Amino acid sequence: MVIFLYRTLILIILFLLTSCIEDPVKTRIDDNYITSITKSDAYLFASTSSGQIFRSLDGENWTMLDVNNTILLLDIDANSNGTVVASGENGVVFTSTNNGGKWSKKATGKSSFLKEIVIFDDSTFFAAGKSGVLIKTSDCGETWSTISTPFNTQVSKLTLIDNTIYIGLRSNTENSPLLYKYDIELDIISSIDIEIESFILDIQEINNQIYFTDYSGCYKLINNSGYSKELVYEINNGFIAQKILDYEGNIALVGYSGFNLGKIITGIPINPKTKEFEESLYFNSGIVFSNKLIACGGDEFELAVLQNSSWNIFKLK
């Protein structure tokens, strides 16, 4: 009976935490927070709920870039050639070709939010968001075309691996899959038919293996005459693993539990170590840069930086 009540309580907490991100534009977090972080060869870039974009050389000292925007930004991506793109509310996309020195606002023709954006090459980008929207530009955002998708629910994750974009969904429709892949060269979307308990939080490639997280754990995606999954780390106590990172040869999970209690688990799967932070410091993204594990979220634009076994807290401003 006690175990049943405990599990019921955890499910209620998860529902309360996730119901507010069915539409990521509507959040119960009122403070300023970092929505996403990415890197080029030399720089880190962070997008924020207030529409600002920041740049850093070390993850500790940040400069606000001149974007001239107040619309909520949800995702940001960069490449080694100076291209940086960000997407957000109202279908907005901002692009830069010189590592954030100058920005251009692009019209996508979409009025709903674009939760995810990825760079394929210097002129080709993909963005996705509400109601199964998936769009593509081949001219640096000047014009966009819609890619037909077999789903109509929110896209929660886009991850580019070689010439394939892996697509995670927020919820399924009539028991449809939650994981898809899009072959860019063939222009074909196909489903990855494996059982997933809840919506996809992150998808990453580490050491030539593809991993994904949902509410139940971190899994390895196996393709051997059909798809299957292998549990790498079981998640419990309401932990929501928002990001999978490759840190020091092992897997690290970045996220939060309870009511926005920041949590980071390193050393998976051999020697998992958990670091928890104060209640107001939660994490929804992270990255590894110059041997530093950087977790970011909120509130008030906060980042936690792990280097040489020591944690330090920084702010964008």
Residue where the block lists tokens 């030539």: 208
Q: Which two tokens stand for residue 291?
A: 């041997």
Q: What percent of the chain has pLDDT over 70?
A: 88
Domain ranges of the chain: 2-315
Taking only the tens place, the pLDDT of each residue in 220-274 is 999 998 999 999 999 987 899 999 999 999 999 999 987 678 999 999 999 999 9
Q: What are phi and psi of 122, to 5 degrees?
A: -60, -20
Q: What is the pLDDT of residue 17?
A: 42
Q: How confident is the model at residue 317 (pLDDT cuts 50, 70, 90)?
A: confident
pLDDT above 50 (res 41):
yes
Q: How far is CA 301 from CA 32, 107, 158, 247, 280, in A?
A: 6, 27, 24, 23, 11
Q: What is the pLDDT of residue 176?
A: 80
Residue pair 296/283 in contact (Cβ under 8 Å)? The answer is yes
For the question of whether the overall pTM of this predicted structure is more than 0.75, the answer is: yes
Q: What is the pLDDT of residue 257?
A: 86
Taking only the tens place, the pLDDT of each residue in 186-230 is 999 999 999 998 899 999 999 999 999 999 999 999 999 899 999
pLDDT above 70 (res 27):
no
Pick the CATH number of 2-315 from 3.10.580.10, 2.130.10.10, 2.60.40.1170, 3.40.190.10: 2.130.10.10
pLDDT mean across residues, the chain: 90
Q: How confident is the model at residue 8 (pLDDT cuts 50, 70, 90)?
A: very low
**Measuring CA to CA, which residue among 154, 158, 134, 153 is closest to residue 144?**
134
Residue at 64: amino acid letter: M
Q: What is the pLDDT of residue 31?
A: 62
Taking only the tens place, the pLDDT of each residue in 264-302 is 999 999 999 999 997 678 899 999 999 999 999 987 899
Q: What is the pLDDT of residue 7?
A: 41
Q: What are phi and psi of 96, to 5 degrees?
A: -140, 145
pLDDT above 60 (res 79):
yes
